[in-house]
Amino acid sequence: MDFVKDLDNRLLFAVPKKGRLYEQCISLLSGSDIHFNRRSRQDIALSTNLPIALIFLPAADIPKYVAEGNVDLGISGQDMIVENEVQDKVTEIMELGFGKCRLCVQVPVKGEYKTIESLAGKRIVTSFDAFANTVFEPIDKAAGTKTTINYVSGSVEAACALGLADGIIDLVESGETMRAAGLHDIHTLLETQSVLLSNKHSKHQDLIDKITSRIRGVITASKYVLCTYNIERTNLASATQITPGRQAPTVSSLDSHEGWVAVSAMIEKKQKGDIMDRLSEAGATDIMVMAFTNCRV
């Protein structure tokens, strides 16, 4: 436990210790040049190049630690922030674009329930019991009844078939798990994805800003590629309409080819095929597309 004293003066950054957010978080850290050595089974890892300690915790608990100020910064899902009821106590710095899914009310396909209101007074099983209680409070009040909310930690979809629930509240991404259990969704309560979140009163705000801009750079870099090509200056105007860049394309003259220029511009990765076709039609040659791993734009 020697290194507990080494945590003094370090920014504490909570990262999901396993599960579907883990790999993406590790790749964000690596893309942001936050280096660390983590020994097997160890949930605290000191960064070797920045005054940061990474704390590996269950995603579901991270919003609570951030809200209470036990850690300065964290990555978790928006659903976990809502379930921990800490929306007002943390700053959601930015959406990270992964862990995207919907929190839905689901019922058996062959059943009588068609609306969330029809479940008033019935039995709901969920891992999101705090949120479910807030959802059913007004519904119960209007119907003059009390819905039973029971917590289970996983495999929530099994609850209806097992006779434990009339409906469930759980996450849906592809819908495969829901359909396999003979369920369908009748109401979306929340759209969620992973976010970078911070404590509102951290003493490490400068470092939080630095990490945020590095992570933002990694996310932007994953959406864009750099496109370079050569083109006759007479065709430049039509080519730059195809690749306007984020501000403007970089244009330099080609010494060896009178009247020709070299152009480079960031383009959206998902449009690269179409853009290359159109550049070719506009007279561009030597068209190349290159990925980059981080950027500040």
Ligand X SMILES: O=P(O)(O)OC[C@H]1O[C@H](OP(=O)(O)OP(=O)(O)O)[C@H](O)[C@@H]1O
Ligand Y SMILES: Nc1ncnc2c1ncn2[C@@H]1O[C@H](COP(=O)(O)OP(=O)(O)OP(=O)(O)O)[C@@H](O)[C@H]1O
Residues of this chain that interact with ligand X (CB under 6 A) are 154-157, 170-178
- The site partner of 175 among ligand Y, ligand X, none (C-beta below 5 to 8 Å per kind) is ligand X
How many other CB atoms are found less than 10 A from the CB of residue 232?
Answer: 17
For the chain, the residue count is: 297
**What would the DSSP string read from start to end of 225-264?**
EEEEEEEEGGGHHHHHHH---SS--EEEE-TTSTTEEEEE
Residue of minimal Cβ distance to ligand X: 154
**Among 297, 295, 272, residue whose Cα is nearest residue 221:** 295
Please tell me whether residue 123 binds ligand Y under the rule CB under 6 A.
no
Stretch that binds ligand Y, among 97-105, 107-115, 139-147, 277-285 (CB under 6 A): 97-105
Coil, helix or strand at residue 69: coil
Please tell me whether residue 77 binds ligand Y under the rule CB under 6 A.
yes
For ligand Y, give the closer residue by CB, 16 or 167.
16
CB of 79 to ligand Y, least distance (A): 4
The one-letter amino acid code at 66 reads: V
Q: Which of residues 192-211 bind ligand Y (CB under 6 A)?
A: 192
- The site partner of 79 among ligand Y, ligand X, none (C-beta below 5 to 8 Å per kind) is ligand Y
d(CA 26, CA 15): 8
Coil, helix or strand at residue 215: helix
Counting beta carbons within 10 angstroms of the beta carbon of residue 120, is it exposed (0 to 12), middle (13 to 18) or buried (19 or more)? middle
The two tokens of residue 44 are 């605290």
x/- map, 18-37, ligand Y, by CB under 6 A = -xxx----------------
For ligand X, give the closer residue by CB, 68 or 173.
173
Please tell me whether residue 171 binds ligand Y under the rule CB under 6 A.
yes
Q: Which of residues 141-160 bind ligand Y (CB under 6 A)?
A: 154
- The site partner of 77 among ligand Y, ligand X, none (C-beta below 5 to 8 Å per kind) is ligand Y
For ligand X, give the closer residue by CB, 102 or 278.
102
- The site partner of 21 among ligand X, ligand Y, none (C-beta below 5 to 8 Å per kind) is ligand Y
Contact 77, 124 (CB under 8 A): no
3-state SS, one letter per residue, for 31-45: HCCCCECCCCCCCEE
Q: What are phi and psi of 8, to 5 degrees?
A: -55, 135
Please tell me whether residue 74 binds ligand Y under the rule CB under 6 A.
no
d(CA 99, CA 101): 6
Please tell me whether residue 101 binds ligand Y under the rule CB under 6 A.
yes
For ligand Y, give the closer residue by CB, 17 or 122.
17
Interface residue with ligand Y, options 173, 191, 206, 274 (CB under 6 A): 173
Contact 171, 83 (CB under 8 A): no
For ligand Y, give the closer residue by CB, 138 or 154.
154
d(CA 68, CA 61): 11
- The site partner of 155 among ligand Y, ligand X, none (C-beta below 5 to 8 Å per kind) is ligand X
Applying CB under 6 A, which residues contact ligand Y? 19-21, 59-60, 77, 79-80, 99-101, 154, 171, 173, 192
